[in-house]
Structure 1
């Protein structure tokens, strides 16, 4: 089974890119400068920032549905970065070392299973196992310690190598 990682669409954050710290604070957004290369995972690029990059910390409704599981949480995005695109079955590098909570959601947006995975190989097996269940519609990946949303994973209908992109 082939799966697809989906980053958040940067266009929904364009109005925040490049604003002053004060203007962002008026909208409830905090700016931070990345101190280490392994923190502040960006939900738009699905990459870790370089030390010194400006990060925007904001609340984001990642499960904006009519369900008891409707949810929002704090996320980081890299200021000014476009959305990352990943070929089917590719796991973004930011998931190489991190432990990840994987939640399987139904078409009604109910959590029907959840697992922890660490490293790309374990995460790959977890994703494939959870998506193998026909009642799973999609997966949400979260930080197991802070609970922050990281990414969405769906089944990919493409099995051939992508051209362009």
Structure 2
């Protein structure tokens, strides 16, 4: 039996807030992307040259914990993410897992919002296996996929 894991973009209601003030309390400063290729967390795709985007501070675990009534404590991180500066249609729901073209970490978190470890994923075809290993542990409530080079949050996968 094969399980399919779904990458979760930043929720539209959260994007609306981030497009005004980010999670570090700074006003959002949109700009025109002249090069393209920025990994967008709103639609889980890459920007195109000419797109209006913004680089904002985002606290994914803090926001998840607030929904669940958990306290991530010291694991509450705020980091940079790119989003479209205006509403976008969101991800292509039929698409494969995004951003698997480089080394990534799959970081595991408990229902209390505490880190339970992680795994380096070096090959695109091993993402499903990394998620299966994570969710085989009943203590794991969600995982974050992060870039190795910069540590940036890319997306979240939750236990069904």
* Structure 2 length-normalised TM: 0.77
User: Which residue of structure 2 aligns with residue 51 of structure 1?
Assistant: 49
Q: Kindly indicate which of the two structures has a greater share of residues assigned to strand.
A: 1
Shift of 1:35: 4.0
Q: Which aligned segments of 4 or more residues in structure 1 are displaced greater than 4 angstroms?
A: none
**Structure with more helix by fraction:** 2
1:71 to 53, 77, 83: 77
1:15-37 per-residue CA deviation (whole Å, 9 max, x = no partner) reads 676x8xxx99x943233433444
Name the CA shift for 1:12/1:154 in 2 (closer, same or farther; >3 Å).
Answer: closer
Please say which of residues 61-70 and 40-49 is displaced more in the overlay: 61-70
Name 2:68's counterpart in structure 1: none
Q: CA deviation at 1:108?
A: 1.2
2:8 to 3, 6, 15: 6
How many corresponding residue pairs?
147
In the alignment, is the contact (CA less than 8 A) between 1:36 and 1:51 conserved in 2?
A: yes
CA distance in 2, matches of 1:113, 1:120: 20
Query: C-alpha distance in 2, partners of 1:152/1:42?
Result: 13
Greater relative contact order, per chain length (Cα 8 Å cut-off, separation 6+): 1
For 2:5 and 2:15, locate their aligned partners in 1 and report how far apart those are by CA, in whole Å: 26
| Alpha-carbon distance change, 27 to 136 in structure 1, aligned in 2, over 3 angstroms | closer
The Cα of 1:14 is off from its aligned counterpart by 3.0
What's the C-alpha RMSD, in Å, of the aligned pairs? Answer: 2.7
Residues 105 and 35 of structure 1: CA distance in aligned 2, closer, same or farther (over 3 Å): same
Return 5+ residue gaps in structure 2 as ranges.
66-70
